[in-house]
Structures are given as C-alpha cells and as structure tokens.
Chains A and B, each alone.
Chain A
Amino acid sequence: MHLTSTLDDGYSDFQWISTVGNPTYATTLGNKVAVTVTSAGNLGFADYPTNAKGKGFRYDGGNSMLF
C-alpha cells in the first residue's frame, strides 16, 4: 500500500506499508493457547510443509509444537 501524507504547508511525503489482503489464516491470541486456523480448513500453518504462514500451536509464548 502506498500512503501519501501532505501537511498544511504543502510538504508531502510517502511511505510503503506492507499488508496482507484477504488473509487466508488467522491466529487465536486471546489467551495462553495460540492456534492458527486457515481458510483451507486446517490448523497450524497455511503453507505446509514450509510452515511460515501462521503460528502453529503454541502455549504461553513458547515455540510451535506442531510438525
């Protein structure tokens, strides 16, 4: 996303903001258990076997315990 800011004195600048459109996964972060759910119907990661998209299954801030 390209974000342009213009001040009253005419000064203008821009910055690029990275966003994910129409996300295919989301992670529950409401308590000590964090689990990623995906639009493909699975839990853990949205890109098995790379396992970079998502948090997996974590407890109390620890590492993922899946795969």
Chain B
Amino acid sequence: MLSTAANQIINSARGQANNGNTQDKDFQSEIPFSLKIPGVKADVEVYGVFNDNLAGASKLGLQVKQRSYSHSATADEDFVIVRYTIKNVSTLPVTGLYAGLYFDWDLIDGTGDRTEWNVAGNYGKVWNNSAAFTTKVASALISSTNYSFKPFMNDGTAGGISVYDGFSDLEKWTSLSSGVVTGPIGAGDISHVTGGGPFNIAVGDSIEVAFALAASDDDLKLGQAIANARGKWTGITSVKEVAGEVPGTFALHQNYPNPL
C-alpha cells in the first residue's frame, strides 16, 4: 500500500466491496517477474516492475521496482528481503508518502493468533497461543527507521479497524500513518500493517523501501533473523547498481592511440 492521504490510497490489498472478498488492483505490471538463481546479491532473487497507472484519481505517478532476496546460508535461512525502489515519474514532487504491507495472518486457522511490536528489535511479531504450534513470524522495515506498525483484530474488537466488512481507504490510511502501535492484540483473528514513512520523492528521484519477512520456531532466532536481514540490507545497498537491469547497447570503439 502507498498513500499520501486518506483519499489517495494506491494499493493491492483487500478492498471494501463484498465485505472485503475482493482485491484492489491499482498497480499495473511493466516488467513481469523473473527469477534469478543464483542472483547477484542473493542466492535467489525475484525482479519485476509495476506502476500506479490503474489507481484512477489516486494515481501519483510512481514506478516501483520490486525485488526479493533469499539467502540459503544457515544464518540467513529464516528471512526474505523484499525491496521496493519507488520512483517519482510524475511532474510533481511527492510528499508525505507512506508505504506498507498488509498481512492477514492465519497461522493455524485464524484463531489464537497474537501480534505485537517488539520494541528492542523494531519489528512486528505474530505467534499463536497453541503450545503445539511453535512457528512465529516477524516483519520489519529495514531500509530506514521511520517505522509504522498497526495491529488490529479483524472483527474490530481491538485496534479500531474491522476488515470483516471490508478494508476501507480511511482504514488503510489510518493503518499506514499512525506510527508504531505496540499492542499486543489478540488472541484471535488478527491483521497488521508493517510500514514506514513519511517519505518525500522529488520529481525524477527515487527512494528505497525494504522489509524483512522472517519466521522461526524460536523467539531468539526470530529476532536474530531480523537483525541479520538488516545487516544484509546494508551489504545490498553498499554496492552501487549500474542504471538499468540489462545493458541497452553494446559498442566496440577504436582502440586509439595504439598501446603497442
């Protein structure tokens, strides 16, 4: 989800119509997804490009390069990094932009789930009350520190947002722009938005927004996975990319003066 205001929502999350059993489709694919194994910066990379051409009046003129990075080393096997390079291709500056991912978790069957913000590690965590189900998941903004996290019960009994009657634009704006709401929320059928902002993008400029998505059967390993993802992100961005994914032209020029 991308947004600068409650009436300026650009997203592909569930919509409001039909009690939320529909998906908003504001993004248009420019370059279909491709897998690269091995990748340049990770063992498995996914790359694709989309824009906000289908957002109607909410369109801001944004092009998004989406990449994911998976590392297979044991220390990094519990997380995936998803990276969004958001470029302002419009003729107006974009100010106050929030970006976030909406998750409706059903770790088992939609009952017994709990979520909260981990203050020490700066990530959102989801786990289940069942002692027999040990998998926990976490999500975190890793590209900057202007975090946002909004947890809520899907039926609206906690967190102030109900998605059983659909996910409205106002609710999406609230979930993106409320800063960090620590919770905890649950146990029950829960959702949260993990995001960041506000961001400003000058005309022709771009920003990087990246998230770590992690899972583990152990709390300490879950937090370590998020920390390791932040370390990987530093490495990923320390290598400057040549503009464009594929060389546009190849040329052979005269070698002059002759060095021999």
Contact = CB atoms under 8 A, between A and B. Distances in A.
A34 B14 CA distance: 21
B12 interface: yes
Given A30-B70, A66-B104, A40 B50 contact: yes
Interface in A11-62: 22-26, 28-33, 35, 37-43, 48-49, 57, 59-60, 62
Contacts, number: 116
B117 interface: no
B135 A42 contact: no
Contact of A59 (B23, B25, B137): B137
A39 B30 CA distance: 8
Given A30-B44, A41-B12, A59-B215, A65 B72 contact: no
A26 B46 contact: yes
A15 B25 CA distance: 37
A49 B23 contact: yes
B80 A42 contact: no
Secondary structure dominating the interface of A: loop
Nearest to A48: B23
B74 to A, nearest CB: 9
A39 B105 contact: no
Interface residues of B, number: 47
Contacts of B23: 40, 42, 48-49
Contacts of A26: 33-35, 46, 48
Contacts of B217: 60
Interface string B15-52: 00000011101110100111101000011101010100
A23 B103 contact: no
B70 A37 contact: no
Given A39-B32, A41-B12, A48-B14, A33 B22 contact: no
Contacts of A60: 135, 215, 217
B256 to A, nearest CB: 45
B248 to A, nearest CB: 22
A31 B115 CA distance: 24
A24 B70 contact: no
B79 interface: yes
Nearest to B39: A30
Nearest to B74: A31
A26 B45 CA distance: 10
